[in-house]
């Protein structure tokens, strides 16, 4: 009898320790270029609400686990990291993630600059003005609120039906989840499109598990100023940190399994990356 009771207690302990993650899907509509006001793009993003934090990122970062696993196995075998498209892997519109530890006192911004992951933390204080205006958006009863952030003025609609004082990107601090938020110039907009509950295991992307396994999960912590400076230098010359290796005779002659030269593939990737960075010059935060 004691053994049965002990087993029940262990099962209950496991049940209560297994936390669910609430995943909210936001459709992000934005103008990537300040030079082309008519160009509008859409991207699906996710806000994962854990028991002690939230994580916001591109949906592509969490939706391609099986493909990414197969691709990484191929990289280990052949050393060829340029066949992502052959595996059906799609590139998201952005690579950063936003982590808000609960209770929110500061926000962590995580992103890759070439092969290195950098993190900066900063307090984000949003002075919300809650209005009396109400509206039904995506079947939610919402209320209007306004604030200024990052050099833009924002209009948000939140719902008390979902008791999370959080939202997409760095936005948070309203008496309920943000259902819709957009800047007054219509350059950026997020709209809540759905939600689901996941186990912690399923909510953790394959790449996060792999980074943690190799001891690179936390990234290099820097100040916001140092990150911005490094990112601007990266935009000017994305592959500067590895170009010195191009003069190595062995590197120049190194071929991939398909017969192409590794250096040529790097140069092709650099051209594509520069084009992407130049065309995406309208950041969410102007200052």
Q: What is the pLDDT of residue 280?
A: 84
In this prediction, residue 30 carries a pLDDT of 96
Report yes or no on 9 lying in a domain: no
Distance of CA 185 to the CA centre of its chain: 24
Domain count, the chain: 1
Q: What is the pLDDT of residues 199-242, one digit of tens each?
A: 998 888 767 666 666 655 578 999 999 999 999 988 888 877 77
Task: Give the model confidence (pLDDT) of 20-44 as tens digits.
Answer: 999 999 999 999 998 777 889 999 9
Rounded distance, CA 96 to CA 119, Å? 10
Residue 11 domain-assigned (yes or no) = no
Give the per-residue pLDDT at 180.
99
pTM confidence score? 0.81
Residues 122-180: tens digit of each pLDDT: 999 999 999 999 999 999 999 999 999 999 999 999 999 999 999 999 999 999 999 99
Residue 26, in any domain of the structure: yes
Q: Is 80 exceeded by the pLDDT of residue 3?
A: no
Residue 215 counted as domain residue: yes
Among 48-52, 108-112, 245-249, 260-264, the least confident range: 245-249
Q: Domain range holding 107?
A: 16-279
Which of the four pLDDT bands, split at 50, 70 and 90, describes residue 74?
low
Note whether residue 7 is domain-resident. no
pLDDT for residue 75? 57
207 falls within a domain: yes
Choice between 14 and 173, residue whose per-residue pLDDT is larger: 173
Residue 286 lies in a domain: no
């Amino acid at each position: 009898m004691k053994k049965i009771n002990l087993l029940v207690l262990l099962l209950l302990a496991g049940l209560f320790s297994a936390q669910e993650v609430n995943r909210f899907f936001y459709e992000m509509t934005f103008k990537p270029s300040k030079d082309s006001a008519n160009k509008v793009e859409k991207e699906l993003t996710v806000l994962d609400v854990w028991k002690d934090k939230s994580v916001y990122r591109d949906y592509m970062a969490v939706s391609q686990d099986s493909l990414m696993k197969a691709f990484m196995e191929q990289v280990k075998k052949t050393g060829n990291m340029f066949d992502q498209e052959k595996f059906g892997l799609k590139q998201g519109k952005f690579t950063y993630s936003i982590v808000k530890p609960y209770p929110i006192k500061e926000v962590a911004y995580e992103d890759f600059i070439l092969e290195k992951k950098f993190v900066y933390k900063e307090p984000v204080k949003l002075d919300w003005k809650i209005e009396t205006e109400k509206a039904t958006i995506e079947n939610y009863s919402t209320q209007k609120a306004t604030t200024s952030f990052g050099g833009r003025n924002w209009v948000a609609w939140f719902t008390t039906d979902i008791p999370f004082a959080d939202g997409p990107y760095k936005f948070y601090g309203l008496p309920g989840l943000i259902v819709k938020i957009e800047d007054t110039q219509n350059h950026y907009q997020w709209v809540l499109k759905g939600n689901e509950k996941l186990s912690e295991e399923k909510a953790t992307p394959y790449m996060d598990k792999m980074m943690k396994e190799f001891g690179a999960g936390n990234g290099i912590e820097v100040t916001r100023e140092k990150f911005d400076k490094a990112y601007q230098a990266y935009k000017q010359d994305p592959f500067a940190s590895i170009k010195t290796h191009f003069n190595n005779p062995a590197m120049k002659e190194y071929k991939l399994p398909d017969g192409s030269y590794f250096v040529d593939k790097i140069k092709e990737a650099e051209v594509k990356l520069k084009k992407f960075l130049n065309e995406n010059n309208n950041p969410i935060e102007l200052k």
